[in-house]
Amino acid sequence: MQPDRPDSTTPAPQPAAPSTCADTTIAVAKGQDVAVRMYGRKRAGATSPVVVHFHGGAFVSGDLDNGCTVAKLLEEASAVVVSVAYPLTPFPQPVETGYDVLKWVHRNRVKLGGQGALVYLAGEEAGGNLAAAVALMARDQAHPPLAGQILLSPMLDPCVGTASLREATGGATGCKWTEGWRNFLRCPRDAEHPYAVPAGAHRLAGLPPTLILVGDTDPMRDEALAYAARLEAAGLPVTRHVFSKNPQWPDALLQAGQHECPCAAGAIEQFRRFFEATRCPVPS
């Protein structure tokens, strides 16, 4: 387990290999197609982790283009990534769509990542909430098995009142995360549902290993680290890392198009370590 303190050194960025991605639709159920963007490809003679990824956007915006930064970083860490164009609609549809995609990915994991490929969930900001929710669904349904979940600055607290968020918003009277939660939760009772607000779940036992990444000036820092503490209290393996001196985090994760993420090298290293730590022997 890594301590939740800022890092003092971050690896220097390395030239990124060309990304391999393609947009397609997958049939997750009869008459139900979901748009996804695939990153990476199956490697001959090797096994790759397969990651179901959810972009950010405070539940009300964002698309596959906004998810490209994190998806490409996961790809550079040797993963095959299925990034989901989930519906920007109130709970529970985005979570249910995510779970349907997870089941499809599990059925096709050998085609995607090779024999013995393990399946992970990942998401940034609102997508981190969806990844955590889908992990709870998979646990409750006892299927499919997950090797881990990767949460980057996840939106987990609908009260929107942590110290880190107040520090980030200052005296602003409007808050995009408040508006996002208001649109995602249709009624007060939704805020009590663990699949809508995973951080409020009463039972966390049985979840997979978790990697949580935040920035030291990150609006989501406090709620993410509080969730990490709850997971640890439930006896679960958690790795958490705080990137220091990167005020662009997490906004840089949500930008569409070509740009340099300030923590790219550090994030890739964290992904690689997590994949290695959660890797199981490939069955013969």
Domains of the chain plus CATH, in order, are 21-277 (3.40.50.1820)
What contacts 188, CB < 8 A, 6 or more positions away? none
Within 8 A by CB and 6+ apart from 93, the residues are 87
The whole-number pLDDT of residue 248 equals: 77
194: exposed, middle or buried (Cβ count in 10 Å: 0-12, 13-18, 19+): middle
- Supply the pLDDT for residue 8: 43
pLDDT score of 280: 67
**Shortest CA distance to 22 belongs to which of 68, 88, 54?**
68
pTM of the model: 0.91
Tokens at residue 8, please?
């003092």
- Report the C-alpha dihedral over residues 183, 185, 191, 196, rounded to 10 degrees: -110
* Euclidean distance between CA atoms 9 and 13, whole angstroms: 12
pLDDT at 172: 63
pLDDT along the chain (284 residues), means of 10: 49 55 94 96 93 97 96 97 98 98 98 97 98 98 98 96 89 80 94 97 98 95 98 98 84 78 91 94 42
Residue 13 preceded by cis peptide, ω within 30 = no
Q: Residue 7: its pLDDT value, please?
A: 52
